[in-house]
Amino acid sequence: MSDSSTKGSSQNPSHIRLKGVEKIYPNGYKAIHGIDMEIEEGEFVVLVGPSGCGKSTLLRMVAGLEDITHGEVYIAGRKVNDLEPSQRDIAMVFQNYALYPHMTVYKNMAYGLKNLGTPKDEIDKRVNEVAKLLELEELLNRRPKQLSGGQRQRVAMGRAIVRKPTAFLFDEPLSNLDAKLRVQMRLVIKNLQARLGTTTLYVTHDQVEAMTMADRLIVLKDGIAEQIGTPMELYDRPETQFVAGFIGSPAMNFIEADLSDDGNTLQFGDTKLPLKEKLSNQTSKITFGFRPEHVTLSDSGAMSLQVNLVEHLGAESIIHAKLGDSPITLRLNGHIDAKNGDTLKVDIDADRYHFFDKNAGIRI
């Protein structure tokens, strides 16, 4: 660990700090639009967003693999804008692992330490410790080619851990694994991080991965941080329609509706929905959102839906239906006996309404 890496963390509680970070490519394309955020020591923060939203770029800017056009990045109290990746005291795990193909597992893990001038016996001790932690002891003399995907993934993590960096950066580390392994590795990474207590920035496009792993999430869209918060904050109170639609599976239903002049009822199609609290907005055009799981079947339900298709998952049923022209998805417990063409009457949990300005997509 370099000498200055620990200084400053006491005066400044945030471990990684981004201040107005922007990325503009030479061709004028602006990939990241002024991102501010503070990550506390030991926190697990996930950057999530659809592909092309700039999440990997942002991570690579923290790592030092991309230049920072404007703004400042601090790691452990040090401004790192002009430092080489190796001087930033971070370790990164890549999507395709980027293991050195000609080196054994042992050498892959030892390479960074060797470059730092760590004594041989210290390297040996640390590599063996980490190998034990990740159950790689048997594989130390193999080459990456002779390993399975999950094993390579563990070696890539071992290579990061062995350096005892001040922060881990993960760039979609699980996307090359099959579904079952992905769920397993999710737990492994989360447990390891909790055990080591190392600040972690993790990039993924998979919102389930993001929700399950993160202490806090940053949802990015087109280089703009739409919302930063804990998974439950984002789920319960999405600030924008984009976040609302991105977090949660199946995605939130949106219906375009008109707000009555007095702000007490919402009208869409034939349905009139009385509101618990008066709503005020500049225009009467509102996007009304509710989650598929916040719906109950009821004979006196306010909304009647036309069923299209029912997916039976055993513990629950996913119902694809239509309200007028709007597609609606419902997620109901147990086995629901409905088929194409049926009409279902439903009620929506009135505490779980979400309203967004139709044009701006911002929560009302």
Give me the residues that bind another protein (CB under 8 A), please.
63-65, 84-86, 90-92, 94-103, 111-112, 115-116, 159
Beta strands across the sheet bearing 90-93: 90-93, 167-171, 199-204, 44-48, 216-221, 224-229
84 versus 261: smaller Cβ distance to another protein: 84
90 versus 211: smaller Cβ distance to another protein: 90
Amino acid of residue 149: G
Least gap, CB of 112 to another protein (angstroms):
4
Least gap, CB of 326 to another protein (angstroms):
43
Least gap, CB of 318 to another protein (angstroms):
38
Nearest to 167 by CA among 57, 71, 76: 76
Least gap, CB of 102 to another protein (angstroms):
4
Q: Identify any residues that bridge with 357 across adjacent strands, giving them in sequence order.
A: 286
Please report the DSSP string for 180-222 in residue order. Answer: HHHHHHHHHHHHHHHHHT-EEEEEES-HHHHHHH-SEEEEEET
DSSP 3-state assignment of 5? helix
64 versus 231: smaller Cβ distance to another protein: 64
Give yes or no for a contact between 257 and 286, defined as CB atoms under 8 angstroms apart.
Answer: yes
- Give the contacts of 248 (CB within 8 A, at least 6 positions apart): 207, 235, 291
Least gap, CB of 142 to another protein (angstroms):
16
Least gap, CB of 341 to another protein (angstroms):
51
Least gap, CB of 97 to another protein (angstroms):
8
Rounded Cα distance between 331 and 255, Å, is 17
Task: Check the CA dihedral 254-255-258-260 and report its sign.
Answer: negative
Rounded Cα distance between 157 and 18, Å, is 25
152 versus 221: smaller Cβ distance to another protein: 152
107 versus 320: smaller Cβ distance to another protein: 107
99 versus 247: smaller Cβ distance to another protein: 99
149 versus 263: smaller Cβ distance to another protein: 149
Least gap, CB of 103 to another protein (angstroms):
8
155 versus 338: smaller Cβ distance to another protein: 155
> 326-341 burial, b if ≥16 CB within 10 A, otherwise e?
bebbbbbeeebebeee
Least gap, CB of 101 to another protein (angstroms):
6
The structure tokens 């509706």 sit at 257
Rg, C-alpha atoms of the chain:
24
84 versus 270: smaller Cβ distance to another protein: 84
Rounded Cα distance between 70 and 270, Å, is 51
Instruction: Tally the residues of the chain.
Output: 364
Give yes or no for a contact between 334 and 300, defined as CB atoms under 8 angstroms apart.
Answer: no
